[in-house]
Amino acid sequence: MSLLDKISPFERKDLLIAWLVLGVAFTLGINGGLAIITDYQKLTIEGLLITFLVSLIAVGLSFVLHELSHKFTAMKFGYWAEFRKSTQMLIIAVVIAAITGIVFAAPGATLINTAGREMTKKESGLISIAGPLTNLVLIIPFLVIMIIGFLMSPSAGIVLLTLPGFLFYLGMIGFQVNAMLAFFNMLPVGPLDGKKILRWNPVIFGVVIAVSLVLLYLALMPTVILQFFV
């Protein structure tokens, strides 16, 4: 049985809906929410479509693989696990992005059924850390894509509606989304992954959240990296 066969039709539908709605939310957020209305002259259909495509690719890989890593790690320990979307949180994500230009993404969660078996701290920690680690690994290809787009761009600057501009934009957004997802989920509060990881192994928690914070800073300040390629 392949990994795809382990994703039920119901789960696939929930993942697809959450993916598309998050794509819309990030498109609104990247374009400044309601600022689109007051600054509509700078907005083009081509630019909007490219932003949506970039959001789908970046968010799709970042979000879907994050949740599936939780699922398959839990299944490795013999548990049933499936992603379930939160319609309410998806609506909130779009509304907040539209009003403020800020994306608050909590589209749902991977539910785990232990069938009455008590989950150990180690199992809980490993299942939890699988998500943030996946996002940290995904930073690598997106960072490479960003640098390639930068190196391909003419000296006059980066233009979105060109191949170099698209690659740079895709890489930068993917870098930022994965860095934010990794750091946010490592926070040791509420139902987030960080709380379970800290309870399992404080040293590993400290290392991963520190790396996530550094990468988040670099993602939000990409010129720190790009200056080495000028």
Catalytic positions: 67
Tokens of 27: 């498109």
Q: How far is CA 107 from the centre of its chain?
A: 11
Tokens of 169: 């934009």
Contact 120/201 with Cβ under 8 angstroms?
Answer: no
Tokens of 63: 């979000």
What residues contact 218, with CB distance under 8 A and at least 6 apart?
Answer: 179, 224, 225
Contact 195/188 with Cβ under 8 angstroms?
Answer: yes
